[in-house]
Amino acid sequence: MKSSFLMRCLAATVLLVPLVRAELTTYSTTDPNVADNAPQAAGGDGWAAGGGVAVAAGQTIYLGFLNDENHARSKWLRIEVGVTGGAASQVDLHEAHGYTAAGGQADVYNHAAGLNVAGPGVVHHEFRFTPQPSWERISYTNNNDVPVTLDVHAWSVCCRLRPAFSQIKRLELDGAFGAVAPGAMANAQRIDELYLFPVAAPVDTSAPLSFTPPLGAGAFASSFAFADPLGGPRPGGGARFKTTGAGIAAGASFAAAFSMNSAAIDSFFDVFFHDAAANRWIRQRFDLSLVAPFSYCTAGTSTSGCNASISALTNPSASLANPCTFAVSNVEGQKLGLLFYGVFGPMAAPWCAGGSSVLCVRSPTMRMQLQSSGGSAGACTGSFSVDWNAYITTHPFALGAPFAAGDPMCVQAWYRDPQACQTTNLSDGLLVTFRP
């Protein structure tokens, strides 16, 4: 039953908020000591900028990419490495890491190799980092008996996902092309065409398409598409947005939307975007079941004007391999409360007549330990927290246990508020997906 939960979770409107970057600046070094630190846009740190890299026989090359750290998002990184002077099959991936500014590491998932690779002699990998790190380090080892030259190109899409529940089965993409971090991009490219395809679910052609371009990008025409720009058939259809104007500049925001004609939104979809400067199509595939924890629904407003907000820096681990803490901030001070969770999907139902809180977790639910918010009475200085590993270790028969990788779970906070309806209020909701 839990295996079908994700599709029920995504049956609400999905709001995907990405930062899509054109080609990234590649930094390289063969010195592992240099590779321990992030590249600096100003240079002088031992990293060399540029995609052409010479690698001796048996040598390991470290590639660095700069980013804007954001714990609310995941990053999909695509790398294509052209190999000359030796066999591409002998240039092997050595490691992939994402690092926060504080030195922590992001969870890395390697997937979808082989998409949109132009001919032989190319090594291709795609990675997802959660949370979106400050910088990434990818290394390859040349196992040829001769030196080779690597021609490196990289692109990335950074996004977060949350259900909005306003319209069933509608997918909304809201974001910007372009990087903000100094030195992150090789150039300021513009995007003049964009395709969005669900991998399995058909598109509802009776529902309108929507696209809002940024100022200066030109007017975009919207249409349904049944083939991707690389010639692949897409019988279920997708959405195409195109302009003959200047295109979307780096950092300029846009919004797009289309609807599904299925019982639930697909958890996989492909994005094709056209780099007008290089006259090249780039394809990225998203697995929405792998996104970082995200909040959804609406928090109630307490008697003192507090809106409790729930979050988690990482998804929980089914094997307890990594820590996971659910934290609730902006709670009214000196109130008793608890966190509760469910494994049967999100919802958005009024908590009580005349109140502002919304019940965001579908029943049945499981309550966790009662606690005090602390802080000052009448102020929004209280908080709750639950160490998930500690909780599930002491409650092995809790709802949903034992959990498996890929299982989603919805979590929400409840607290006392004597002046509110039902004398209680609720936080917003949080959707997490279990890691291995």
Between these two residues, 45 and 242, which has the higher pLDDT value?
A: 242
What pLDDT is attached to residue 182? 78
| Extents of the domains making up the chain | 2-14+162-289, 294-433
CA 188 – CA 179 distance, rounded (Å): 9
Between these two residues, 222 and 255, which has the higher pLDDT value?
A: 222
CA 1 – CA 343 distance, rounded (Å): 9
Q: Give buried/exposed letters for 324-362 (b at 16+ CB in 10 A, else e).
A: bebbbbbbbbbbebbbbbbbbbbbbeebbeebbbbbbbb
411: confidence class by pLDDT, cuts 50, 70, 90: very high
What's the chain's average pLDDT? 84
- Lookup: tokens for 332: 């009214």
What pLDDT is attached to residue 10? 34
Which range, 94-103, 260-269, 374-383, is most confident? 374-383
- Lookup: tokens for 327: 């934290």
Between these two residues, 72 and 141, which has the higher pLDDT value?
A: 141
Chain centroid, CA 6 distance in Å = 16
What pLDDT is attached to residue 2? 44
β pairing state of 309-311 and 233-243: unpaired
Element spanning 7, H or E: helix 5-9
323-348 per-position pLDDT tens digit: 999 999 999 999 999 999 999 878 88
- Check: CB of residue 283 under 8 Å from CB of residue 272: yes
CATH architecture for segment(s) 2-14+162-289: Sandwich (2.60)
β pairing state of 268-275 and 233-243: unpaired
Give the closest residue to 155 by CA, choosing from 130, 194, 186.
186
Predicted confidence (pLDDT) at residue 174 exceeds the cutoff of 80: no
157-173 per-position pLDDT tens digit: 766 554 443 444 666 67
What mean pLDDT comes out for the span 301-330?
Answer: 94
pTM higher than the cut 0.85? no
Predicted confidence (pLDDT) at residue 118 exceeds the cutoff of 60: no
2-14+162-289 and 294-433 have identical folds: yes
Q: Classify the C-alpha dihedral 197-201-202-204 as positive or negative.
A: negative
Predicted confidence (pLDDT) at residue 222 exceeds the cutoff of 90: yes
Predicted confidence (pLDDT) at residue 43 exceeds the cutoff of 70: yes
Between these two residues, 78 and 65, which has the higher pLDDT value?
A: 65
Enumerate residues 6+ apart whose C-beta is below 8 A from 36: none
CATH class given for the domain over 294-433: mainly beta
Using alpha carbons only, give the angle 230, 232, 237 rounded to the nearest 5 degrees.
Answer: 110
R_g over Cα of the chain: 23
What mean pLDDT comes out for the span 286-306?
Answer: 82
- Residue written as token pair 């500690």: 390
Predicted confidence (pLDDT) at residue 3 exceeds the cutoff of 60: no
What pLDDT is attached to residue 18? 38
β pairing state of 382-387 and 210-212: unpaired
53-63 per-position pLDDT tens digit: 899 999 999 99
Give the closest residue to 284 by CA, choosing from 77, 7, 18, 48.
77
CA 170 – CA 163 distance, rounded (Å): 10
CA 40 – CA 242 distance, rounded (Å): 36
Predicted confidence (pLDDT) at residue 107 exceeds the cutoff of 50: yes
